[in-house]
Amino acid sequence: MEAMRADPALAEAFIARLARQLQELRARMELRNVRSARDRVLQYLWLRAGTYGRSIPIEGQLQDIASEIGMNREALYRTLAALETESCLTRTETPILLEKSDSP
């Protein structure tokens, strides 16, 4: 607390970090309320892609993503395969590439 009182820039950076974490938590909680597996996965991917991006780097394992969005890994794998079959996305070695027309 003393460091933040002494350094307003540090306090501002800390508050900004907390705000980002809160926004991310709220987004994850809202995402878990999406009933359709297809819509939940697409929404998650678009959130991870950012405003103008289409490429989502996959760090770690897909089962971690499944857990994060409240699905079991088998359901996530099936949903990703179906979305790839529908040409909504392309899975590569590391990133997933989204098609522009599938934006929520």
How far is 54 from 48, CA to CA, in rounded Å? 9
Q: Is the pTM of this model over 0.85?
A: no
CATH architecture of 36-104: Orthogonal Bundle (1.10)
**In sequence order, which residues have a C-beta less than 8 Å from that of residue 56 and are 6 or more positions away?**
45, 48, 49, 95, 96, 97, 98
How far is 40 from 27, CA to CA, in rounded Å? 11
Average pLDDT of the chain to the nearest whole number: 87
How far is 88 from 103, CA to CA, in rounded Å? 10
DSSP H stretches of helix in 33-90: 37-49, 62-68, 73-85
Give the domain ranges of the chain: 1-33, 36-104
Asked whether residue 85 carries a pLDDT value surpassing 90, the answer given is yes
Asked whether residue 104 carries a pLDDT value surpassing 70, the answer given is no
